[in-house]
């Protein structure tokens, strides 16, 4: 018999997956085509309100939202990380975000924290195997 908390976790996971899946095009662009080693290069290659900038914001926003949900324990950590891996996204975003923080010090801090939690989770998981 499922507990109420199990239902909340499943509901949260399904809603997050739906949101993630709605951005499939952005996910592919981010992983395959995003090519900027710093914020200045990002601004130069993807100016103004370009489609690419929107895709960057959509993906970083998804993982920022996920980070808030995980931080406040609104979804089970194991369940979340069994489905989502923010690390390849953070690796591409990090040099851009670090420079963005000169003007906005807390931008995407929950995305970064989520990635750090994922790295710790993966390390513990490897030790169990």
Domain ranges of the chain: 4-128
| Distance of alpha carbon 41 from alpha carbon 46, whole angstroms | 8
| Distance of alpha carbon 37 from alpha carbon 96, whole angstroms | 7
Cβ-based burial of 99 (10 A; exposed 0-12, middle 13-18, buried ≥19): middle
Q: Name 106's Cβ contacts closer than 8 Å, sequence gap at least 6.
A: none
The pLDDT tens digits of the residues spanning 106-120 come to 999 999 999 999 999
Neighbours of 64 (CB within 10 A): 20
128 pLDDT tier (thresholds 50, 70, 90): confident
């Amino acid at each position: 018999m499922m507990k109420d908390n199990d239902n909340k976790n499943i509901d949260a996971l399904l809603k997050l997956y739906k949101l993630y899946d709605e951005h499939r095009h952005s996910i592919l662009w981010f992983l395959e085509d995003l090519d900027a080693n710093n914020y200045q290069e990002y601004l130069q290659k993807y100016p103004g309100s370009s489609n690419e900038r929107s895709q960057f914001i959509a993906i970083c926003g998804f993982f920022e939202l996920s980070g808030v949900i995980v931080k406040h324990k609104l979804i089970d950590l194991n369940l979340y990380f069994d489905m989502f891996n923010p690390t390849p996204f953070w690796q591409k975003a990090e040099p851009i975000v670090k420079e963005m923080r000169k003007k906005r010090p807390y931008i995407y801090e929950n995305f970064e924290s989520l990635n750090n939690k994922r790295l710790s989770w993966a390390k513990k998981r490897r030790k169990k195997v």
